[in-house]
Amino acid sequence: MTAGKDTALIVVDVQNDFCPGGGLAVKGGDEVVSVINKMMDCFDTVVGTQDWHPANHRSFASNNEGTEVYQIKNLNGTDQVMWPDHCVQGTCGADFHPDLTTDLFSVIIRKGSNPEIDSYSAFMENDRKTVTGLKGYLESKGIKKVFITGLATDYCVRYTAEDALSAGFEVYVAADACRGVDFPEGSAKAALDAMQAKGIRIISSEDILK
SS3 category, 174: strand
pLDDT at 2: 60
- Positions annotated as catalytic residues are 13, 111, 156
* CA dist list (Å): 148 to 58, 103, 157: 27, 18, 7
Whether this prediction's pTM lies above 0.85 is answered by yes
Tell the CATH superfamily of the 7-60+86-209 domain.
Isochorismatase-like (3.40.50.850)
C-alpha dihedral (119, 124, 130, 133), degrees to nearest 10: 120
The CA distance from 102 to 88, in Å, is 19
pLDDT at 77: 85
pLDDT at 183: 80
Alpha helix ranges (H) inside the chain: 32-40, 134-140, 158-166, 187-197, 206-209
SS3 category, 161: helix
Q: What residue segments make up the domains of the chain, in order of their start?
A: 7-60+86-209
- Do residues 61 and 68 make contact, with C-beta atoms less than 8 angstroms apart? yes
For 149-174, what is each residue's pLDDT tens digit?
999 999 999 999 999 999 999 999 99
- Do residues 87 and 51 make contact, with C-beta atoms less than 8 angstroms apart? yes
C-alpha dihedral (81, 117, 31, 147), degrees to nearest 10: 120
- Do residues 73 and 80 make contact, with C-beta atoms less than 8 angstroms apart? yes
pLDDT at 171: 98
For the chain, list residues with pLDDT below 50: none
For 35-61, what is each residue's pLDDT tens digit?
999 999 999 999 999 999 999 999 999
Query: Phi/psi of residue 84, each to 5°?
Result: -65, 155
pLDDT at 210: 83
